[in-house]
Amino acid sequence: MGEPVLGPRIRQVEEVGGDDLTRMLRDLPDAVLVVDATGDVRWANTSTERMFGRSIGESVGMSGLDFVHPEDLHFVLLSLVSIQGKEVGAPIEVRLRTPDGWRLVEMKGSPITWFDAGCVLLSLRDLTDRRRFELAHNHDARFRAVVQNAAVVTMLVAPDGTVMSCSGALSRLLGHDPELVEGRPLAHLVEHRDRHALEAALARSAQGSRSIAPVTVCVNLSRKMGSASVPFELAVVNLVDDPTVGGYIITGHDITDRMRLEEELSYQAFHDSLTGLGNRALFQNRLTHALERTERSRDQLAALFLDMDGLKEANDRYGHAVGDALLRSMGAVLVGNIRKADTAARLGGDEFGVIVEDFDHPGEVFALAERILDECRQPMVIGRTTVSATVSIGFSFSEPGITLDELMSHADRAMYTAKDRGKDRFEKFEEWMRAATESV
């Protein structure tokens, strides 16, 4: 029976001398090096020299850990420790610094105690070009289909802000042709007023890394053909140091509905649902800012407190539907008599408030109070019921140094004075009212 075909070849390899084996190892296309327990290079082959741009003589004695990306260093250290006691360690992918920038390599190691205690033989295979090819040619068709048909916009943006590639959602949501967007600055898609926010988000992301949560920013993106812009929330992930990406991955989704909901919730938080007027929180906020303005300008403002005189009786006699109608009517009276610059609010129950600013003479406030009183005296027909509810009004003028609480307390005291004096009237705060309050 003849000798197996591979027999002579096997014998030829076995007959290769030590110098020849050393030459084979030295000339392997993968980088091969030996590091000791501290990570210092003890030996390297020619491919290592080509990868790192240093001669073997320069490499020996250096710390191999100096070439590892800071974010991958802990991973490498754990791997080197776990290799001990194994025949071959599990391969890991890490980024290494080379003269051409960061490269993605597969690192695989084996302990070689015969060389020296704690030493590890490492094999490094450069994966960068292969990964770039896979990404460029959409190697995974299913993943490509997911990205292209997802409801969110996905873009790869270069460190200088240029769009390198984008998903089909850009066309579906904004009408832009991806081929015309690619190669142009991302800022061209963003409304002018929001471009500074985008630049700030990219700058924050540049200071971070992929180990940190994405940087988010809300901007308005323009539609094709100049139609109304669309609010988007963009999430920026920094993959600039990833050799296979080399940029920022930016995903964005339309937040029109979310913003509408936030506006509705904000409106509800500061407005009375029954009358549509502002509520106490809005009134106090507006009054605080108005007082700050008057302190700077030395102008005056007036705070009016109004209390409906017959609401409780109407509720008890006719029911809450009639009472609610009276409250809505009171809101309409205030809206119909104040200026756009003024603020009307329902403070709670049957109490209302008005802030009047920018008047030339206190008589304007008196005249406003008279108009409100006159309209509230008019009977209102609700179904088959005719009902009216007059109002008592108290107001106070601001003065230098007065606080929010003091101004509101003065207007409240004046309003109760109007009630004590027979209702259906207005009273201006006077100093004797303060003394009367303090004596109680």
Query: 400-409 pLDDT, tens per residue?
Result: 889 999 999 9
Distances, alpha carbon 364 to alpha carbons 134, 290, 371, in Å = 76, 18, 11
Alpha-helical regions (H) of 96-194: 128-136, 141-149, 169-174, 178-181
In CATH terms, the superfamily for domain 271-439 is: Reverse transcriptase/Diguanylate cyclase domain (3.30.70.270)
Catalogue the E-assigned strands of 45-151.
Answer: 92-98, 101-111, 120-126
8-state DSSP, 192: G
pTM, 2 dp: 0.54
Residue in 409, 401, 397 with CA at minimum distance from that of residue 437: 409
- Name the more confident of 330 and 243: 330
Give the tens place of pLDDT for each residue, 417-440: 999 999 999 999 998 887 665 544
pLDDT band at 163 (very low <50, low <70, confident <90, very high): very high
- Average pLDDT of span 390-400: 93
- Mean residue pLDDT of the chain comes to 85
CATH number for the domain running over 134-259: 3.30.450.20
pLDDT score of 389 more than 50:
yes
Q: Is 350 a catalytic residue?
A: yes
The answer for 401, left when phi > 0, alpha when psi is -120 to 50, beta otherwise, is left
Distance separating alpha carbons of residues 26 and 115, to the nearest angstrom = 16
Q: Which of 97-106, 163-172, 293-302, 348-357 has the highest mean pLDDT?
A: 348-357
Mean per-residue pLDDT, 235-256: 88
Q: How far apart are the C-alpha atoms of 113 and 284, rounded to whole Å?
A: 77
- What is the pLDDT at residue 141? 57
Distance of alpha carbon 416 from alpha carbon 411, whole angstroms: 9
Q: In the prediction, which pLDDT does 209 show? A: 59
Per-residue model confidence (pLDDT) at position 135: 64
User: Could you tell me the sign of the dihedral formed by the alpha carbons of 59, 65, 66, 71, in that order?
Assistant: positive
From 129, 110, 128, 122, select the one nearest 64 (Cα to Cα).
122
The answer to whether 437 and 421 have CB atoms below 8 angstroms apart is no
Choice between 136 and 342, residue whose per-residue pLDDT is larger: 342
pLDDT band per the 50, 70, 90 thresholds, residue 211: low
Average pLDDT over residues 218-241: 87
* Average pLDDT score over residue span 158-178: 85
Q: Are 207 and 214 in contact (CB under 8 A)?
A: no
Please identify which of the residues 350, 405, 420, 424 carries the catalytic annotation: 350
134-259 matches 271-439 in fold? no
Best-predicted range by mean pLDDT (200-214, 225-239, 278-292)? 278-292
Q: What percent of the chain has pLDDT over 90?
A: 39
Percentage above 70 pLDDT, the chain: 89
Q: Which two tokens stand for residue 125?
A: 């295979």
- Tell me the per-residue pLDDT of 41-52, one tens digit each, with 9 for 90 and over: 988 888 888 888
Q: What are the domain boundaries of the chain? A: 7-126, 134-259, 271-439
Which two tokens mark 282?
A: 């809005």
CATH class for the region spanning 7-126: alpha beta
Least confident of 99-103, 328-332, 353-357, 434-438: 434-438
- Which of residues 434 and 156 earns the better pLDDT score? 156
Q: What is the mean pLDDT of residues 133-142?
A: 60
